[in-house]
Amino acid sequence: MNQVQRLPSYESPPVVEVVASVQFDPVPSLNVVHLGMLWQRFRESFPKVEQKAPIAPVVERLGVRAPLNQIQFQVNEEVDVPRLWFVNNAGDELIQVQPDRFIRNWRTVPKVGRPYPRYDEHIKPRFIADYREFRNYLSDELGAKVEANQCELTYINHISPSEHWSSHKDLSAVFRGWDSSYAGLLEQPVEAINLRVAHLLNDLRGEFVGRLHVALQSAFRTPIEPADPGQPIFALTLTARGKPIGDGEDGVLGFFDVARRAIVTAFDSMTTPEMHRVWGKRYDS
């Protein structure tokens, strides 16, 4: 396999969270009691439970463009079934479930200090195992069959200062395609950056399957001391969302393969060679 075909990788990537999600038509009979029973299947590995508001469904459609911000009102007499988090003791892995979604997260926890465990070795197999358990539960207890209508893979990166940049005005030192002269064009200093871009996502045959959403935002780490202003960072979120590429579990994994390749290559193309050296760029075999 030549280098062009291989995906770039990094010894110390800035990724702080990876989210793998499957959306499906709501299971009508799935209520909070059933979700509590589901927890018993995961309780040994995920002993903590948190309750959150449900996530609204999202579907990527070709030709449908995002509207300007609009206020939407929805009248619903039924009480929404909450989204439950099943969290492990370390707090760095969790499962999220609601009547139309199954989500699995890995996230970094500073006090735990575990490095990113890698997609092929950890993220993908753990998702598969837990998603199968979730589907088996719905089949055993409710006679329900889950068929994904949307899949989503998200990588969240927090890019810390290095010898190449120290302020948000140094955007061009971290990201390609940004004119380094911008910060000096205006009399007013740069205070914040917020950029969003959506790219069409196609399968290997060139057919539309979804979108790759890129969100770049300037931010600061939570200060340790009250007088500390906090370390500047760039928060870069890449989300690939779209329809399964085929039926069943193979279709979900087929989309995730396309999604991961798009996310990894986009991250590599967006960031500068100087930052690649900081993170220890290499190519997976």
pLDDT of the residue at 258: 95
Mean pLDDT over 44-63 rounds to 95
pLDDT of the residue at 273: 97
How far apart, in whole angstroms, are the C-alpha atoms of residue 100 and residue 182?
45
Listed residues 146, 166, 191: the one ending a domain: 146
Q: Which two tokens stand for residue 62?
A: 């070709």
137 and 155 share one domain = no
Is the pLDDT confidence value at 1 over 60? no
The residue with greater pLDDT, 275 or 4, is: 275
What 3-state DSSP class applies to 233?
strand
163 and 224 share one domain = yes
Quote the mean pLDDT of the chain: 90
How far apart, in whole angstroms, are the C-alpha atoms of residue 137 and residue 35?
10
84 and 207 share one domain = no
Query: pLDDT per residue over 146-203, tens digit each?
Result: 999 999 999 999 999 999 999 999 999 999 999 888 888 888 888 899 999 999 999 8
What 3-state DSSP class applies to 23?
strand
Number of C-beta neighbours around residue 103 at 10 A: 22
199 and 243 share one domain = yes
Q: Which two tokens stand for residue 88?
A: 């492990």
Whether residue 98 contacts residue 54, with contact meaning beta carbons closer than 8 Å, is answered with: yes
269 and 218 share one domain = yes
Is the pLDDT confidence value at 217 over 70? yes
96 and 159 share one domain = no
| CATH number of the domain bearing residue 131 | 3.30.310
Listed residues 120, 146, 172: the one ending a domain: 146
For residue 246, tell me if it sits in a domain. yes
pLDDT of the residue at 72: 47
DSSP 187: S
For residue 33, tell me if it sits in a domain. yes
How far apart, in whole angstroms, are the C-alpha atoms of residue 232 and residue 108?
18
138 and 172 share one domain = no
Listed residues 129, 146, 163: the one ending a domain: 146
95 and 45 share one domain = yes
131 and 167 share one domain = no
Question: Could you list the residue range(s) of the whole structural domain that residue 118 is in?
Answer: 20-54+80-146
pTM for this structure? 0.91
For residue 68, tell me if it sits in a domain. no
142 and 260 share one domain = no
Q: How many domains does the chain have?
A: 2
